[in-house]
Structure 1
Amino acid sequence: MDRKSTITRRRLLGGLVTAGTASAAAGAGTAAYFTDTEASSDNQVSTGTLTLGFDGTAAFDFSASLAPGETTQGTVTLVNAGSLPGSLDVDVQYTNSDARNNSKKTAREVAERLDVTTLTYGGTDRTGQITDGSPPTLHDLATNDRSGGETTPNDLIDLPDPASGADFTVGFQLQNVGNQFKKEGVAITVTFQLNQHDSQ
């Protein structure tokens, strides 16, 4: 007999990162939204709930403007308020942040110039899961797609359950690009998925 248990996933829209000189004007904004319900069917499913949420703010506080060589970093605290432990996966995406479409550089060109300087979860460095780049860039992180036997590939997989609170921190440094990327930027979306099993 096949039993179904509904697993809720929560998503976070991360902050806006704009690359450019320190004096570059850029509209920054952050927002968060929570959506999506996934069903899992398995003979071994335990009854209970997975409830992924945030302890405090649900948005990264990235700098809206970076000069070459400058860094920005943001942290969110994840919590599982449900009755079952889970396995955390993370997916990172980026898009061009210029709503007026005045960009001379593509989102990928900007993302390839943003080095990942910090990537920790629960106090443990997770940059080892990024298979490309030394140092890895935002583009490397967003295209990491690790499957590890999972039904849906994500950029970071099989992280421990956040329990009553685990910080997820990501930081970037703009490479030495001169003025080539003035007023260029990307919007970064980080999606956190709490699954009942590692293989999901």
Structure 2
Amino acid sequence: MHLTRRDRDDAGFTLVELLMAIVILGVISVPLAGLIIAGLRQSASASARLQLSHDSQISATYFGQDVSTVGIRDYAAAHGLTGVAFKPSIQLDAAFDAGGHVCGTAATPTAKIRLLSERWDNSAAAPASSVDVVAYYLVPVGPVSELHRIKCSGGTVADVIVAHYVDPATLAVDCGGACDTAAVPQRVTMSFTVATANADPYVISLNGQRRQT
């Protein structure tokens, strides 16, 4: 009787080949997994920085517009050579009804800054003026806060979030001098720091220049 060797079936693997494949896959998968994790971290960091940058642009646009129109006139005072004098038009750490100008409710947090401006209604025979109010205040969200902007104009109230992840301890206002006097500041700056778990602390500085003279 003659024994004949059967040809090996190409469809199968030997145990040695299977073990070698497992070892090779292990060697490849470790650095590959590291690359994937690093890529995900970079993506999360880029997304966080993009959101903070977006908040910076939005808040800067609002604040610049609000400061540009700040100023209410004292029509009861005598008119000087330079025209009608201003009343104090900027309020710091102010309640929702500070100075008799209501914007919000008793539940509205104290505003870091309130900007007062005039709005004229020319629809009647005799033009009439009223005061618009814009206030910026913080609402706590865990260890950080959201910066809100509320505007009250002619009975219309609009409240929007202009910045997220604000460190409340860093919110500051600078008028280059006193803010809340009749000598209404020409320039106003509000600054704060924002940070998330995926992005380094980022300082946002909002600047505005008053147009009224």
Shorter-chain TM-score bucket reads under 0.3
- In the superposition, the TM-score normalised over structure 2's length comes to 0.26
**Larger RCO (CA under 8 A, 6+ residues apart):** 1
Of Structure 1 and Structure 2, which has the larger fraction of its residues in helix?
Answer: 2
Flag the structure with larger Rg. 2
